Amino acid sequence: MISKTEINRNMTAGRPKGYKKTGGRQKGVENHSTRSVKEALLKAYGAIGDDQAFAEWAIENRTEFYKLWSKIMPTEVNATGEMVMRFAPAFGRNENS
C-alpha cells in the first residue's frame, strides 16, 4: 500500500529542483491591479482634500486610523544611543526561579 506522504511527494507541481526559472513575473514587479488601485486611491485622496481632510478624519476616527497606521508603520528603527531593556518575570513565577 502507498502512503499519503509518498503520494504527495510524487504529485508536487512545478519544475524539478535544479532547473532555472523560466517565464512568469520578474521579482519585484508590482501587480497591475495593485498599481491601478493605488493610483485610484491617490486621485480620490487628492479630490477630498489631501492631508488636511485625512487629518480631520484621523482625529474623528482614531481607532480606524491606528489600525491603518499599525499596518504601515516602520518595523525597524535606526537609532544611536543607549538602550535598556527590562523584561517582566513570566506569569506565575517569582524572580528567583
As a whole number of angstroms, the distance between CA 93 and CA 13 comes to 49
Q: What is the pLDDT of residue 63?
A: 93
Half-sphere exposure of 27 (CA within 13 A, CB side): 2
**pTM, entire model:** 0.38
Q: How confident is the model at residue 3 (pLDDT cuts 50, 70, 90)?
A: low
Task: Report which residue type is found at 66.
Answer: Y
User: pLDDT digits over 45-58, tens only?
Assistant: 888 888 888 889 88
Q: What is the pLDDT of residue 6?
A: 62
Q: How confident is the model at residue 89 (pLDDT cuts 50, 70, 90)?
A: low
Place of cell 529542483: 17
Task: Report which residue type is found at 41.
Answer: L
As a whole number of angstroms, the distance between CA 56 and CA 63 comes to 13
